[in-house]
Structures are given as C-alpha cells and as structure tokens.
Amino acid sequence: MINWKGVYPAITTKFTSDDQLDLTAFQCNLRVQMEAGVHGIILGGSLGEASTLTNSEKQKLIQSTLEVVGRNIPVVLTIAEQSTKGAIEAITSANNSGIEGFMVLPPMRYKADDRETVTFFKEIAKSTDLPIMIYNNPVDYKILVTLDMFEELAEYKNIQAVKESTRDLGNITKMINRFGDRFKILCGVDPLAYESLALGVDGWVAGLVCAFPHETVAIYNLMQEGRFKEALKIYRWFFPLLELDIHPKLVQYIKLAEVATGLGTEHVRAPRLPLVGEERQRVLQVIQTSLASRPVLPTVEKVSIY
C-alpha cells in the first residue's frame, strides 16, 4: 500500500566514468535519503535518465534500491513509453519485482489527444493491481491531463495520485475542490513546493533532495507541524538551488550539486554531457553560495507515513 504522502526523491542514476551503473554511489545516496527520513523513492524518472537505460539496467536499479530500502518505504517505478503496448510490457515485467507502484507519464513523442490519453491510462490501470500516480506535466511533455480527464479516470481505484507539474498553482485547489481526497496530489516542481504544501498537497516529488535530503525533508515536516515561518526561512535559502530543477539540464545541474555535497558523481550518459565553461561556473556559483550560508536545521519530528 502507498499512502502517497511525504517526500519522494526522483533519484538520480549514478554512472561510472566508463558509462556503467555505479551501484555503490547509487546505494550510498539512497542510505542518506533514508537517514534523512524520506517517505518513498521514485526510480527511472527524467532525473534518473530513464530514457537512456536498458531494461536490464532498470532491473539492477530496482534490486539495488530494494537492498537498501527493503519494505520500509515504497519504491515507485516510472513508466515512460511511446506506445500502450510498450507501457503494459514494462509494467508486466515489473509487477512482481518488489516495487510497490508506478508513476506513469502520458505517451512519449506522440501528442495524444484527450480521448487517446485517457484510454492510454485506462489500459495501463487494467494491466496491474499496483497503485498508479499520473505525472501531469504539460510544460515538458505537451499533454495536459485535465480535470475532466481525471473524472473519467476516477473509476479506476488503482489510479490514486498525481504528480502535479502543470506549474499552475490554481490547479491544486481545483483538484481538491472537485475531487476532495480521491486523488492524492504531490508537487512535482521544486521551486513551487512551499506554495504547494501551503495549498494542501499531500507530498513532494523532489529533485534537489538528491543533494540536500535533510533540508527537503525538514521543509515538509515543518509544514506538517504548522511551523510555516521556519519552513519558509529554509525554503528561501533553498530557492536558488531549487530553480536548478526546472532547467532542461536539470540532470547535470543536480548531479553537480550532488558532487558538492558528497552524494554523487558528475557522470551522465550521452547524449548528455557534463557541464563545461561558463555554464558550469555559473551553476557552481549558485551551489557554493548556498553552501556558504547553509542553515542549521531546527529540531523537528519526523513525519511517519506508515
């Protein structure tokens, strides 16, 4: 069972200098995430460079994650395929792998219309008993899952949550007003996290958490305790870093931040390349300036979801 609450890192995939999976670095990061008190793990998202991974590599990442996480928190696998057939095949192969749910993107490459998109999600929901979170990101993937579309999908009980990345804060209130708690809502845009939590979302699928897990979890937990000013102080410090999450090179940017905090490497898989020149210096400046004023976190109770 997944409660779809709390902080869910969209975990990065670690590579060696010769383009192999770096499972040692990957598990090291996972252990720090667990120590910080995250509430779930998202595997194979955009930040995880999933489009570059083979099926065999995805299976290795699942196994490596479960070795660290066990059954303590849910592991959610991202499904981002070009065809309905491909999506169902990916889900079928993962159904008994030990993961506890799926985050499903709309069809890749083809810009499906509303009817096609709804049918796509329905067919996927029929193919598994595991819970599903729909990733609603029209900015990057050009398909908006509207409230009317969610109305059609509500009959499928295993479609339980949405990663809200429309960047329209009003959409959160519209979802809650129309559906109550039928769909759990998780913020999917780092520099809108405080505002989204204040509006009542259930959780945060986070990116910069990969480099700054304790700060990310602290903001969430403080918000749950109603300690909004304390959370806001950390959030304002964090904001220049959080903006790295909404750039096309978010993978390189966040991996550079992981290096700075000792939680990863800079290696990416082609066609991505490590940052160079002025761009690299600019991102490093953001990271180093933030590290120089890194706040002492207040004592806060860990929010137990399970």
Predicted confidence band of residue 28 (pLDDT cuts 50, 70, 90): very high
CA distance 135 to 127: 18
Whether 302 shows a pLDDT value over 80: the answer reads no
Q: What is the pLDDT of residue 249?
A: 98
Structural fold of domain 6-236: TIM Barrel (3.20.20)
CA distance 289 to 283: 10
Which of 112, 120, 160 has the alpha carbon at shortest distance from 138? Answer: 112
Whether 305 shows a pLDDT value over 90: the answer reads no
CA distance 273 to 242: 21
For range 175-182, the mean pLDDT: 98
Q: How many CA atoms lie within 13 A of 97 on its CB side?
A: 27
Q: 36 is written with which tokens?
A: 């910080």
DSSP per-residue codes, 75-95: EEEEE--SSHHHHHHHHHHHT
The separation between the first and the last C-alpha atoms of the chain, rounded to the nearest angstrom, is 9
The overall average pLDDT reported for the chain is 96
Which of 194, 291, 188 has the alpha carbon at shortest distance from 233? Answer: 194
Q: What is the pLDDT of residue 300?
A: 82
Per residue in 112-124, pLDDT (tens digit) is 999 999 999 999 9
Per residue in 33-63, pLDDT (tens digit) is 999 999 999 999 999 998 899 999 999 999 9
For range 136-156, the mean pLDDT: 97
Whether 264 shows a pLDDT value over 90: the answer reads yes
